[in-house]
Structure 1
Amino acid sequence: MDRPAPSSPAGAPPSLVVPGVGAIGRTLIAAVLATLVAVLAVVLSLMLGAATIAPGEMIAALSGRGDPRTVLVVQELRVPRTVLALVAGAAVAGAGSVLQALGRSPVLDPGASGPVVLAALPCLLLSLVGGASGLRGTPLLLVLAVLGAALGVTALLLIARRLRSPAGRAALAGGGLALFGAGYLAWLAARRLDPGIADLGRHWGGLGGLDGTTAPSLWWILPLLSVGVVLLLVASVLLAMLGDGLPAVMIGVAGISVVVGTATVGIGSFAFVGLLAGALAAAAVGPGNLGRMLCALPLGAAVLLLSDLVGRLIAVPVEHPAGLVLLVVGLPVLGVLALLTVLRGPAFPCEGRAT
């Protein structure tokens, strides 16, 4: 007698179903496929831009051979930009996955809510007081941004975990987006007062971008983002084993705060990376927190890499920030997820107690 094909949990969206493969196998297959997509995005990021570089020339340039101008473009411009997008995209997606699990809602996004606004606020205030020069990457700014993000995450979770209605949680996402918009308007006002903060404020105001990334800037951004990812992985394991109790909440808030604060100061805020990666991961492996996290990391990297690539190619030679591309793509997805959250209730991924 034929065995029935495995199916997704009741009420959950269709997941990647492979006959004869259990939940762990599906997660591994989905994670491998997501990683391949991220690798493809890396290759495209190195090849494409204002000047298209052939695969053979790109490989030669990576090893320091070939046309000196091509070597300069690849090694000095595209490699640092691609590496930063890879790590930052994975980190922000991981932060989104944990935030959604702790807040029990798939519509929460760390880049379009209170955490990023409160992380950016010290940046804007210090810019107005002390000018724009030399602020990016300073220890004081990093500490203030991480503390601001921690305050925002804590407030967001306190509200989300007390809202039992899916409609209320969808409304919370709308409120977070409104706060995100208010932060952007605050930057516009600050820009009028001091045009010198235009470059930094553009990133801190919500339209994060990877243009201008150089190898020296990676030395302080990448280690901090990596620490945040480790904390988020630990939080995901605790969520899978013990549920969303105090240990998972504390470590999760710490990881989200480090990622959001570091990203905001270094490259700006990227709205909807966590939302898009989380939705894709949940569709692939279902609502389990650890499996969704493992898929969200490479998916987030791919989302940010491809968004940056679209911003570079859509109007050559003018570059549009990746944050703008994400805003255009992410708003409709947020609307769909908010509607599904209201219609499906607690059976939707990330709803209910962590698994």
Structure 2
Amino acid sequence: MLRSTGAVEQDIAAYHTGLVGRGVLLDIPRFRGVKWLEPGEAVTRAELEACAEAEGVAIGEGDILVLRTGHHRRRLELGPWNNSPPPVGEGKAGLHVDAIPWMHERRIAAFLPDGDGEAVPSVVEGITYPIHPLQVAAMGMLVSDSLQFEELREQVLAANLELAARGLAHASFGNVSGVDRDAGVVAIKPSGVGYSELRAERIALVSLESGEHLAGLRPSSDTPTHLELYRALDAICGIAHTHSVYATSWAQARRSIPCLGTTHADYVYGPVPCTRPLSDEECRGDYERLTGSAIVEALGGRDPLEVPGVLVASHGVFTWAGSAAEAVEQASALELIAQLAFNSVVLGGEVEPVSEALLDRHFRRKHGPTAYYGQR
């Protein structure tokens, strides 16, 4: 029901806290073997069925259909365009009107396209947007346009390349991820792919809630660790995992890194903890997820933005921050901290940690409400 002030029922604002359901992504450009659909190209019922079959998915009652046309990828690479109907503009890619009966038959609950969702110009004479009224008013379907994954993928691609450029990744070791918490999607480096071979479309997308692989190449084998951390630590939106030399040396020694100087204190409030070794049973079981649980356990309730990294015993290091790029910055800082601490121990033996006063002053001048470092 609609009034002049808006919808009485099914107002999209009712979903501001999120929508829970089974999401199914149909990636039409990937199915066609192209980077994006061109403006005006329509996705028909037959193509939706063929794409679902090729992806090995079935769409049914109550599902949330996520449709990718590559709209934002095209915009990122070629710039914006006039998406009005010709001859004024070029139009938009999206659904053909014959997809509506297909959606109705399957009783799809929600439709989340990466553009407006329907092709412009339409095939219905005199009606520019025939699909939206049918979906929303006639079918009671939730529609949320312009879902963006391309930017997240680009950010995660750039962060992974930066990890390699800083010398923190050897061969295909290591990975960086980022999360879109509103969409419930994590983007992460694909498994075993060399950094020189990474492309935005190869970055894997997985469901934050279920871990289901949504798009891109097969995700990193460390994905369950990343997911466990995102679920447990609400404040973080980017994670980096490395086997950098000095940080991993401390991890292999199963030793936390003590705060021996102000360089450390500028980035981490106190020692960098090291996890306990995983038990034989844990190693034989859900190893990657339990690695994430061990990291959370090692944090011991400390603020993850004050302790932005943990060493994993006998393994390597995970760092995190508010974005994928910042997580790489933390990984770089932690490697320097590990090297300085190593050299200090070699030169000075049993070096005492800095005082609480010095730790507090250096950390608080760069972080938190009383920070005064930099151009604020």
Q: What TM-score range do you get, normalising by the shorter chain?
A: under 0.3
Which structure features the higher share of strand residues? 2
Larger Rg: 2
RCO comparison, higher one (Cα < 8 Å, 6+) = 1
**TM superposition score normalised by structure 1:** 0.22
Which structure features the higher share of helix residues? 1
